Structure 1
Amino acid sequence: MPVKVAVVGTGSMGMNHLRVLRDFPEEQVQLVGIAEAHEPTLKRAISRFHVEGFSDYRQLVEATHPDLVSVVVPTYLHFEVASYVLDRAISVLVEKPMTSTVDEGQALIQLARRRGAKIAVGHIERFNPAVVEVKRRLVAGELGEVFHLHARRLGPFPPRIRDVGVTLDLATHDLDVMRYLADAEIERVYAETQRRIHNKYEDLVLGILRFCNGAIGMLDVNWLTPTKVRELSVTGDRGMYLINYLTQDLYFYENDYTPTNWDTLRALTGVSEGTMTRL
């Protein structure tokens, strides 16, 4: 029997959910309906995906009896929609950030446990092919001990984001991926934020993270840079992996401890001690 899936929210990210769900074989996934409060957006999704649509997510759930609901609404609505679905013992995939507050997130986890449902957060960067490959190589021990991770996620402000700051909207990607690749939880954080061009929420965050296994992470995220940068470096005993999220490219810079003429190299930029390999 296919898994019956409904989607609440058909904005930019909701359309991505619908596109991916349609790519599954019909014997695996059945898209049973969508809900969207904004009528033109709802009509666009119905026209493109030829699926039953509702203006109210409660009507969608009661009419279609899904096994799983994708919650792809603005962050401030995550708790309201997800709690309604979970309370009916229906599993939820909620876009990141999970909720607006830690207390709301914990409440959803407890509700899912009480009702015997599952809840997952859509941290899509874990499935970026470059991240998948780095994880495979780290598990195989190819980099040795990982001691430093550095994430840069920069770019201009997306006007559609109005209910959270850059930390919840963007930095959550990198915090999740760094925890995943370091295979350790974060035990200590020092961070600075600024509001440069926005009145309510921060648009810049810089952080230094200490992981419980001793690794150190650096976080550089903003909505102030005119061009997009999406990079993560992972440094270990044998060298460094460099991930470009946008192009899904992965590079390996190998350590080389042979004697080097540093006086000459000081005049150059972008020089690697060892070989560089595009993976």
Structure 2
Amino acid sequence: MVKVGVIGVGYLGQHHARIYSELKGVELVGVADIDEKRVSEIAKKYSCRAYTNYYELLKEVEAVSIVVPTVHHYAVAIDAINENIDILVEKPITSTIDEAEILIREADKKNLILQVGHLERFNSALMELSKKVKNPIFIESQRISPFLGRGIDVDVVVDLMVHD
């Protein structure tokens, strides 16, 4: 049984917690968030512990999802690496290339998993499109979705270009 935790239980972090709670061979040990009310609600919903200090959660798990605002990815991930914890971090990996390179290097040194959640590549619409369009010469696309107010801690290119 792999002991996992989720750091950040906003919109996407709640999905991570739900999925971990449903996976066989996985124990969702706890969730961490600075919002005490939210983290308590999510912990109760998935029968795990609530932490307002993610350092405490890191002491209890083997793997962690990092689903905090991008500007905090580096700090949280380097703390997890220092505790020898495997990581799934939401995209983008960090705010800067330098920070990303440090995380990759440090995880490699310790033979840890550092996986970035590039989920759009598994979007069913994009997967179907790739079956139909074999050798495109030119593609124009538009992202049409409501503005949800999240992911604004980094510019739109850093946040969305990995998808589009």
Q: TM-score, normalised by structure 2?
A: 0.89
* Consecutive aligned runs of 4 or more in structure 1 exceeding 6 Å deviation: none
Percent identity, please: 37
CA RMSD of the aligned region, Å? 1.9
CA pair 43-144 structure 1, distance change in 2 beyond 3 A: closer
- The separation in 1 between residues aligned to 2:94 and 2:119, in whole angstroms, is 16
**1:33 offset after TM fit, Å?**
1.2
Matched, 1:33 2:30: yes
**Residue of structure 1 aligned with 2:41, choices 41, 44, 48:** 44
Matched, 1:165 2:164: no
Contact kept, 8 Å, 2:70 with 2:151, in 1: the verdict is: no
**1:44 offset after TM fit, Å?**
1.6
Contact kept, 8 Å, 2:58 with 2:83, in 1: the verdict is: no
Greater C-alpha radius of gyration:
1
- The separation in 1 between residues aligned to 2:141 and 2:4, in whole angstroms, is 34
Greater helix percent: which structure?
Answer: 2
**Residue of structure 1 aligned with 2:114, choices 107, 115, 119:** 119
Unaligned runs of 5+ in 2: none
Secondary structure of the equivalent of 1:147? Answer: coil
- The separation in 1 between residues aligned to 2:139 and 2:103, in whole angstroms, is 30
CA pair 145-75 structure 1, distance change in 2 beyond 3 A: same
Unaligned runs of 5+ in 1: 175-279
Matched, 1:54 2:89: no
CA pair 162-125 structure 1, distance change in 2 beyond 3 A: closer
Residue in 2 that maps onto 1:6: 5
**Residue of structure 2 aligned with 1:88, choices 83, 88, 93:** 83
Q: Given residue 159 of structure 2, which amino acid in structure 1 is its aligned partner? A: D
Matched, 1:16 2:6: no
Residue in 2 that maps onto 1:225: none
Secondary structure of the equivalent of 1:150? Answer: coil
The alignment of Structure 1 onto Structure 2 pairs a total of residues equal to 164
Contact kept, 8 Å, 1:32 with 1:52, in 2: the verdict is: yes
Residue in 2 that maps onto 1:260: none
Secondary structure of the equivalent of 1:77? Answer: helix
Secondary structure of the equivalent of 1:94? Answer: strand
**1:130 offset after TM fit, Å?**
2.9
- The separation in 2 between residues aligned to 1:161 and 1:144, in whole angstroms, is 32
Residue in 1 that maps onto 2:139: 149
**1:156 offset after TM fit, Å?**
4.4
Contact kept, 8 Å, 1:88 with 1:115, in 2: the verdict is: no
Tell me the alpha carbon deviations over residues 131-190 of structure 1, each in whole angstroms, 9 at most, x when there is no partner. 33444x3xxxx754333333321344322344112222223222xxxxxxxxxxxxxxxx
Contact kept, 8 Å, 2:66 with 2:77, in 1: the verdict is: yes
Greater strand percent: which structure?
Answer: 1
- The separation in 1 between residues aligned to 2:31 and 2:93, in whole angstroms, is 20
Contact kept, 8 Å, 2:30 with 2:43, in 1: the verdict is: no
Tell me the alpha carbon deviations over residues 97-141 of structure 1, each in whole angstroms, 9 at most, x when there is no partner. 111111111111111111110111111112222333444x3xxxx
Q: Given residue 109 of structure 1, which amino acid in structure 2 is its aligned partner? A: I
- Higher relative contact order at CA 8 Å, sep ≥6: structure 1 or structure 2? 2
